Amino acid sequence: MKNDFNLSECFDEFHRDLFRFLVKLTGDVHESEDILQDAYVRAYLKSALFNPDRGSLKNWVYKIAINIYYDRERFRAREEKAVAQYYDELYREAETGGSELNFEYSKEMINAAVMMLAPDRRAIFLLSIKTPLRDVAEILSIAEGTVKSRLFYIRKELCANLKKICEEENL
């Protein structure tokens, strides 16, 4: 059932309040703008699902925006956890390999070491931080075992890059 309303006109009535709410919720103006835009697009695409008997359009769009915020927070938490695990693993590997890392600078150094990777290797590494290995394999059209093997060598290369960066900083 297609609803007979102009979402754009309705949205004009409450988007400023929704934006202010999102700024308070997120603490970030740019993040709030992104969520607001995503909410508007999602509401537009799903407008046939809106049922005025279940509540107002304003409440429906607020709910969409809040769900987008929750999704982003869940993704951010998973991403931060995965990145922290990788940093810890690389830090331990570099430490046991005889390289002395200054922990204050280790994230900056790791970022520099990642940028030293060839683009295809960097893509595998960065995808593997946020994405299950089976999905990385599907995205890159290679076997999951190949992804695991390449990640093994990429980690070794990252450790070598970290050692090189440490040596250059000690000069």
User: What one-character-per-residue DSSP string does 79-143 give?
Assistant: HHHHHHHHHHHHHHHHHHTT----GGGHHHHHHHHHHTS-HHHHHHHHHHHHS-HHHHHHHHTS-
CA 80 to the chain's CA centroid: 8
User: Quick check: 159 and 100 in contact, CB under 8 A?
Assistant: no
Tokens 């290679």 locate to: 142
Task: Identify the band that residue 94 occupies on the pLDDT scale cut at 50, 70 and 90.
Answer: low
User: Are 46 and 7 within 8 A, CB to CB?
Assistant: no
Q: What is the mean pLDDT of the chain?
A: 82
What average pLDDT does range 4-22 have in this prediction?
A: 79
**147 neighbors 124 (Cβ within 8 angstroms):** yes
Q: What single-letter amino acid sits at 11? A: F
Q: What is the pLDDT of residues 122-148, one digit of tens each?
A: 889 888 887 888 998 998 899 999 999
Report yes or no on whether pTM surpasses 0.85: no
Q: Which domains does the chain have, with CATH numbers?
A: 7-74 (1.10.1740.10), 97-170 (1.10.10.10)
